[in-house]
Structure 1
């Protein structure tokens, strides 16, 4: 069913039916307030084929020349000049004007002040990273971000944990915290000239698992941690700094990291998972270590993830068996 649109706001529109309760003397006073609310923004759509990227609103130096509609030309003239100063990113606007890119201008009135929003195409930055030098793997968790850096051979050379305290915080606080974490990761990538590898997650499947999952920690991680927001922020910062983002399949990253790299490097499971993500971006092998492969039959023709899946089932069943034996030993009849 199509949804209706009420320019000016439904809340203000419904106030006309209760004028006295909303401090309106008559319907005319409400109509003036409603029209003022409706006319609180102006939008000028530009095109790259037009001069200065826009035909009706043009940036010339630090002045904005706005074309006046024919009905008001006698009173204000053909154009109105507005002095504009941007607090940041003004170099991007000048670059877009030099390249004759499309410029979109949007004026928004908030209370008694007018604000200007400019939209244009961001200037392209050349990629400065090379995965032949190594990669930086990122593993997302509910309380921190695990980061592991590899060299060209896929060996661990640096690791760190970036704590992200985002539980019970507002969306703006979460965005600021994640943006600061992304800034640290991208700065490291620019310094070492290595790409950043992240997991390509399916959020719809993860959210659907909340209903069937009984793990409170897992529910908190999926519901409160802004996976999509983090991916959006790190991709945006990477594009601006010339860092390539490599999205890899997240299958068995924690399992491979736990049983292959945790004890070898003396790191946590999350750091080991980020190491697997970095190595997977470099297309390194994920074969079983010799000590672990003894419990499985040899099959050299299957894909490398198939034995990991079989090993995970054995590990889970063995863990459940140990828990069951421990539970029975505590409840013996003697």
Structure 2
């Protein structure tokens, strides 16, 4: 129910954003050019008329959704859309009507209960002992069906967890909250029990401590994660790495693909000895509406396919268990400036650096609080130093940061030793070219 309410609130925000975009463009003259911050008018009178009608449709839809939201009413059916589509294509799904009906009913045959810390084994309604015994607290109308004391029904089957079983056992023995869900898997004909719990809030450590061993920059894309490792001075180390995923299947498959990509990323960070991962703080919630980007369906499909929210939540929880810090940085101009300052210098005959790899370097340097550009303007002319580029990739206290000039050997010229003071004594005014100048050395 809470998830449905959040989706309903997100749908309301999407409708409001679409109505505001259409109203703004309708107020502009036809053919007016837009800017980077605001779109212009519509290109033709025909499009203006069509958007006027769409504005009325969205306004009516927004009013209906607001009435449902204020009344606390949501229109949702558990796993209804996918199963409904399968019902109209039974031959393609290789199912009979009876088999489909079993799946439809199985989606509603489940029992779940949230845990509570301090209760016995972390859950009062569904209790699971460390040795795998499951018991359910029956409600008062069903108390006569109990086969154990205190109105509980003990199942004959035993349960064990192959994944994170030791972590679950530690929580149960400490009487910490654990939520359970019992559901039927029709394809296998088995009942399954799923346990879930919430980790403690992430511990915040100082930024300098997290960046002491370097950082890995992560550029999020629609089908892969482009990463590059940087040392403590902001210099790229080794070659970039890519972790791909496929988001073209069902929700469970997409979630598994994201989880697998993040697992490989965290394993690589452990191998490198890096304790921090830098990622962009992306949010396309207001950019997915078609009213903002108009007919650019390809771009809207691209940003809608990026799993920004799911990836950020997964990375935070998985990195906490791995002991790796996550640094969220501002995503502004990382791809553009990364390609401008890092793509060509990092490209060689054996390595073709892409725009996404360069963006990963820019993200990591921004997390290290270094500027993205590689060089500063040269210093002005003076007697001690001439024009030359100076690196700003190292900290001010690092040795060799200014890259001082090579020392000239003494035998290269007839200059005195550094410890010898030199003074100049001028004689009478010289008006003849080539007249000698009297020099006196005092030691």
Residue among 247, 251, 273 paired with 2:359: 273
| Larger radius of gyration between Structure 1 and Structure 2 | 2
Looking at structure 2, the residues matched to 9 and 200 of structure 1 have their Cα atoms a distance apart, in angstroms, of: 31
Please give the alpha-carbon distance, in whole angstroms, between the structure 2 residues aligned to 1:80 and 1:87.
Answer: 25
Q: In the aligned structure 2, how far is the partner of 1:8 from the partner of 1:164?
A: 31
> How far apart, in 2, do the equivalents of 1:7 and 1:223 lie?
23
Q: Quote the residue 2:161 is aligned against.
A: 86
CA shift in 2, pair 1:154/1:168, >3 Å = same
Contact 2:283 2:308 in 1 (8 A): no
Task: Give how far 1:64 is off.
Answer: 1.9
- Kept in 2, the 8 Å contact 1:197–1:247? The answer is yes
Aligned equivalent of 2:133, options 52, 59, 63: 63
* 3-state secondary structure, aligned to 1:270: helix
Q: In terms of mean alpha carbon deviation, does 193-202 or 161-170 score higher?
A: 161-170
Pick from 240, 245, 265: which aligns with 1:185? 265
Q: Name structure 1 gaps, 5 residues minimum.
A: 12-22, 24-32, 293-334
**Equivalent residues in 2 for 1:219-238, closer than 5 Å:** 219-238=300-319
Give the corresponding residue for 1:246. Answer: 327
Q: CA 1:163–1:90 in 2, change beyond 3 Å: closer, same or farther? A: closer
Shift of 1:119: 2.7
- How far the C-alpha of 1:186 sits from its partner, in A, is 0.9
Secondary structure, counterpart of 1:76 in structure 2: coil
CA distance in 2, matches of 1:74, 1:173: 39
Distance 2:259 2:107 in 1: 34
Counterpart Cα distance in 2 of 1:8 and 1:208: 26
- Change beyond 3 A, Cα 1:145–1:183: same
1:281 CA displacement: 0.8
Structure 1 CA distance, aligned partners of 2:243 and 2:107?
44
Are residues 205 and 45 of structure 1, via their aligned partners in 2, closer, same or farther at CA, if it must alter by over 3 Å?
closer
How far, CA to CA, are the matches of 1:290 and 1:259 in structure 2? 15
Which residues of structure 2 form unaligned runs of 5+?
Answer: 1-66, 82-96, 348-352, 379-443
Q: Is the 8 A contact 1:235 1:245 kept in 2?
A: yes
Q: What's the TM-score once normalised by structure 2's chain length? A: 0.52
Quick check: 1:118 aligned with 2:195? yes
Tell me the equivalent position of 1:257. Answer: 338
State the match for 1:155 in structure 2.
235
Looking at structure 1, the residues matched to 314 and 161 of structure 2 have their Cα atoms a distance apart, in angstroms, of 22
Residue 96 of structure 1 pairs with residue 171 of structure 2: yes
In the superposition, relative to structure 1, how do residues 94 and 209 fare at CA in structure 2: closer, same or farther (>3 Å)? same
Q: Flag the structure with more relative contact order, 1 or 2, with Cα contacts below 8 A and sequence separation at least 6.
A: 1
Q: Distance in 1 between matches of 2:191 and 2:247?
A: 35
1:38, distance to aligned residue in structure 2 (A): 9.8
Would the alpha carbon gap of residues 77 and 286 (structure 1) be closer, same or farther in structure 2, given more than 3 Å must change?
Answer: closer
TM-score (norm 1): 0.67
| 3-state SS, counterpart of residue 185 of structure 1 | helix
Is this contact kept in 2: 1:125–1:240, CA < 8 A? no
SS of alignment partner, residue 203 of structure 1: coil
Number of aligned positions between the proteins: 272
Give the distance between the partners of 1:206 and 1:215, measured in 2 at CA. 12
Deviations 1:78-131 (A, max 9, x none): 333332122322112111113221233332245564322223233788789821
Instruction: Between 74-83 and 140-149, report the one with greater CA deviation.
Output: 74-83
**3-state SS in 2 of match to 1:207:** coil
